[in-house]
Chain A
Amino acid sequence: MIDAQSSPRRGFTLFEVAISLGLLAFGVVSVIMLFPMGIRAQQLARFQLYAAAKAEEMVECFSTTHNANPAIDVEAYDAWDVPVGRRSLAWDLESRLASHRFGMLPLPLEIARRIDSDGDEIQHILAEGGYLYYSQPMATSNLEEQAMSAAPPNEAQRLVFAVTGYAQSNAIGLLPQKSWPYVVPYPSPPSYGPHKPDTFIGGSGTVTTANTPGFDANAATSIICWEANTPNGTPLPGADPEIKGVFDAYVAYYTAPKATVTEALATAYLQAALLYCARKITDTTQLSGFISPSSPSTFPYDTEIFIPGTNPVGASPAMTSLLWKQVQAMRFLSHAATCMTRWHTLSELSGAGLAIPALSGSPALTLTNDLIVYYHERCLRLAMTFAASFPYDWGCPRPLQRTIMTDYPLIEYDMFSPPLTGKIFSGSVAASSIDAAQWRPLGAQPVQNPGVSYQYPGRPLPAPGSAGDAGFWGDRSHVTLTRAFDAAERCRQIVFWAVDWQSYEDCETAPSAPVDASKYPFRAPVDGEDLNARLNTEFRDEQIYAFRNPEKVLSFSNALAPLKDTGASVLADELLNNMSNSFPPDQGSSTNAKSVFSGLYGGDRNFNKVLDRGPVPRSVRLRAIPVGRFNYYDPRLTAIVR
């Protein structure tokens, strides 16, 4: 037995103390390491808020921003000869918003490739041809950036994001071969416009009237009435050579100088419109009821808007193909008849009325105020009813007074048939040598009376089922726009990460991400203009939002800007906006212009008006922290909320 008092009293050995201290230090360090996690949690919470705001803004902007790029050619007889036939105007979120005004700017590829993420998701997106985006520093307000002051520091720029999931194949918003719908006021004369007198005009509706009041006083242009044009005068549904008589009479009246214009010219216009009515409505009884009903002031519009017997309810395509004639006939007749109110008083147009004599086959008419009001009323109702009832019958333009969604028929590209192929136009058809292809257009229903386009009436669209149909339209068994679908098919995702990419030394000097080629605005084919001339078109800065480099506003306009000292002002180096009719530095065929267009010199990516360089060398890889994911509906149709 050992006596406790006699046992030796020993302290901890040094080894034991060291172990104890080690354990203590481990514990302390472990606790200390928890504190930065709290900071990270707060940072993540903040970025999640930024991401929520950004996602809301993106969907708001996508849903409410109009598709207005009015300073761009939209028609060519081959889809590849205008930029609208490509990705630039696709109704997909990233295509719409990756522009210099709507908030999504592609992160320079050089920087994006240095960023790691969970599952290497960012690099997978880049490898598939996608972009990593950052938020533009200014609010997406549509306001012109030219006079904006420097943006305050914007932490949300540390967010990067991408759109995942594949976009649906969209309906065609603008069909290059004919940018339908054509919209005109009702009533109105035959529609017309200036056109270069080249080989693309063709047809019978052309007049050459330079320096005429009311028309473009440009001797280099002709005035073309596309509705009347047919190639070589050959009748073609939707392009009606009989309109030429109405047009010529209208031009004679409308363009006469104020001092010499006469009532006789107005009467001749009315007679031409009456003749057109007689040619379109060949049944004399129907014609009489159409142009001079027995009681115009009590005409039953609600039941007899179309001539009885031609009522469209349940009508066959052949029958509906007759209805456009009534719409057009009343459109011209109403316009011509109303012109007479400039020349006569109510009392002259009451009672016995005004006698309009027959002329060259036009019916005689006694014109009254009641008839004029009836023409107007029936004209509008015919146009509205036709437009709402027959979105695939292009026999007459849509009414400007009430543009509605169904003015845009459902047309998509047929991706399961061989594409149309040809050459990119360069000066002449014979001189064109660069191969091109585009999918065939395909309507949910066959397009009736496609007619000709305003820009290229010499190259008419074949009607489905016609001899030329197989060479142009897609296979109707491939229509998908009207098929049922699962919600998941139209679900895409906006994915956000946080990474301080602006800490890179080249955050503002790295070149822009490669610009989608379809964002380069170019002209439609013009006789004698080679491809280079077509590419050297005017950039109407304020009217082509979907085109040019998405970083355009921030981009540097010269090679010296990225060589400046850190912190130096770049106020004079930003491309920003340009005055109308100016020649912005990114326009043209010079090497510098191409470099500016492509964003080769970098840009003021935080819009603080000075050149920034971060402390992190480009050899360092940064890791992006996942912040959030937001699902959204990917529409296939062009759709804008109010």
Chain B
Amino acid sequence: MHHHRAAFTLIEAMIALALGLVLIFTAASGFRVASQAATVASRMSLENAMLRAGFQTAHEQLDFWTDIDDPDGGPVGMALRQRGTNNEGGAVIGMPFTPFKDTWSGPDPDPNSKDESSLGWDPQDRAWSADNPRGWFQGDMAQKCTGGELDLRSGRYALFTNTADNLGTGDFTAINTKTYGPISIIPHHWRDRTVAALINSLGFMGLCEYLPANAVYSLYSPARSGGPYWTSTDMGGIPSWCTLPGGSFENGDGGQQTTRGKYRSTYMTSYCIPNPAYSATPDLLGDLRRYYHVGYENDAGAMQEFDIKTVVPAVLLQARPTTWPRVAVSVARFIKNARHVALCKVRWQSPVTGEVIELSFAGFGTSLRGARQQRQPTTGWAAWDNAASVPTKPAGTFTIPLNLDSR
């Protein structure tokens, strides 16, 4: 039987070829797109994972401040726990994470007490209870740091409140050759001593963190005319740092010579907690006791310095593959316009293009006081206050886990 086997016609072959090419082209394009999409998705997935890690790291630092003070980090991690001596007057001064026991003496006071003679910080919430007279500023709000024409015209408010138990003749400024004392009974001490001890122990931003929101930033001490900034007072006994415009605590805005509150002190300038490693030889005690001109009429140099001092960069995954993006996280802590800012920045750099992208946000976090109460005075973390075996100090009217605020 004859069996005829016909070949494809030219038309059929051409159509088949065309269809085949379409198929190959479609498949190739598809695979190329798929490959690119998979690559992009994979890269984005990696970037997102890194970004999430950065976001999470920022929140961990907001909550636990480990970028500033690592209780498990040894001396390098706890650089802001140092203690020093004020060059002017010799007072013991500390840093935001210096334990109070190293800068403050005396037992923890009873928080419910109206005891004016107690020394130092009360670690419970009633320390500044609004109904407790020992927390009220008892001085003259109009008293100026320079006498000028007014020369203590409103009288001597050091009689009502003072860091000293008693004042000798030399502790009053003579007016028309008359001094006032000596005087042995001064009704109020607690607030003045606490404010003085806080600024010595913690620095400027620490003071702002610990004082009540609407506190008056001032106190009275024995009058000392002339002399260095930290040991001199005005005629009535208010220390120069509280009132002297353009000193290191009060900015020169308006030339104001009287006691102020937090807004006035921080709308032109700012206080900060510096990065302990911003330089090989940082002057941390000094950096904690000055203002930074980052408000109106500032300049690029001041902003740059502030940035260098406050940004605490942490690069995630130092040993990452070179194809992974570089992600750095920083949290800067400062006060501006009476607002306590924790400014987080998550910045990543593409390994392909080198492009830098940043996510910045101001976050909610633990206050300095809360962060200090998370930490043991030496190393390690404090126990929760409801833990079964909480070390307490002192055994007495109240108990509280041992932390940086304990003495």
Contacts and interface: CB of A to CB of B under 8 A. Distances in A.
A147 B303 contact: yes
B91 interface: no
B146 to A, nearest CB: 12
Interface stretch (A119-127, A134-142, A239-247): A134-142
B52 A642 contact: no
B160 A142 contact: no
Nearest to A407: B214
A28 B355 contact: no
A39 B41 contact: yes
Interface string A16-34: 0110010011001101100
A35 B37 contact: yes
Q: How large is the interface on B (under 10, 10 to 19, 20 to 34, 35 or more residues)?
A: 35 or more
Nearest to A263: B176
Interface stretch (A54-62, A109-117, A279-287): A54-62
B359 interface: yes
Of the candidates A35, A258, A380, the one having the most CB atoms from chain B within 10 angstroms of its own CB is: A35
Nearest to B346: A53
Contacts of A18: 19
Given A185-B142, A258-B151, A580-B296, A341 B19 contact: no
Interface residues of A, number: 92
Given A32-B34, A35-B38, A68-B267, A24 B23 contact: yes
A39 B40 contact: yes
Contact of B136 (A31, A54, A401, A640): A401
A476 interface: no
Contacts of A346: 180-183
A61 B156 CA distance: 42
Interface stretch (B277-285, B312-320, B334-342): B334-342
B363 A142 contact: no
Contacts of A155: 357, 359
Contacts of B22: 21, 25
A372 interface: yes
A342 B359 contact: no
A477 B183 CA distance: 58
Contacts of A192: none
Contacts of A376: 138, 160
Nearest to A48: B48
Given A32-B34, A139-B343, A43 B44 contact: yes
A342 B341 contact: no
Given A143-B294, A373-B160, A376-B160, A153 B356 contact: yes
B368 to A, nearest CB: 11
Nearest to B135: A402
A17 B19 contact: yes
Interface string A320-364: 000000000000000100111111111000000000000000000
A57 to B, nearest CB: 4
A369 B151 CA distance: 20
A565 B230 CA distance: 56
Nearest to B364: A60
Nearest to B259: A185
Given A39-B37, A56-B363, A402-B130, A341 B341 contact: no
Contacts of A43: 44
Contacts of A200: none
A615 interface: no
A142 B133 contact: no
Contacts of B55: 49, 52-53
A295 interface: no
Contact of B357 (A144, A154, A403): A154
Contacts of B160: 373, 376-377
A247 to B, nearest CB: 15
Nearest to A377: B187
B152 interface: yes
A57 B34 CA distance: 38
A342 B155 CA distance: 5
Contacts of A17: 16, 19
Interface in B141-185: 141-142, 148-157, 159-160, 175, 178-183
Interface in B20-54: 22-23, 26-27, 30, 33-34, 37-38, 40-41, 44-45, 47-48, 51-52
Contact of A388 (B30, B131, B138): B131
Contacts of A579: 296-297
A129 interface: no
A141 B336 contact: yes
A144 B48 contact: no
Contact of A46 (B51, B131, B268): B51
B296 A541 contact: yes
A309 interface: no
B180 A152 contact: no
A49 B48 contact: yes
A373 B30 contact: no
B114 to A, nearest CB: 10
Interface string B67-99: 000000000000000000000000000000000
B361 interface: yes
Contact of A380 (B138, B151, B180): B138
B48 A45 contact: yes
B295 interface: yes
Interface string A527-568: 000000000000001110000000000000000000000000
Contacts of A345: 178-180
A538 to B, nearest CB: 14
A24 B149 CA distance: 98
Given A57-B361, A542-B268, 6 more contacts: A42-B45, A53-B361, A61-B362, A140-B362, A342-B175, A384-B133
Interface of B: 12, 15-16, 19, 22-23, 26-27, 30, 33-34, 37-38, 40-41, 44-45, 47-48, 51-52, 55, 130-131, 133, 135-138, 140-142, 148-157, 159-160, 175, 178-183, 187, 213-214, 216, 263, 267-268, 270, 294-300, 302-303, 306, 332, 336-341, 343-345, 347, 355-364, 367
11 contacts: A14-B12, A14-B15, A41-B41, A57-B362, A144-B298, A147-B302, A153-B356, A155-B357, A341-B156, A384-B136, A399-B136
Q: Which 6 A-B pairs have the closest CB atoms?
A: A35-B37, A338-B155, A542-B296, A42-B44, A142-B336, A139-B360
Interface of A: 14, 17-18, 21, 24-25, 28-29, 31-32, 35-36, 38-39, 41-43, 45-46, 49-50, 52-54, 56-57, 59-61, 64-66, 68, 138-144, 146-149, 151-156, 185, 188, 213-214, 253-254, 257-258, 261, 335, 338-346, 369, 372-373, 376-377, 380-381, 384, 388, 399-404, 541-543, 577, 579-580, 640, 642
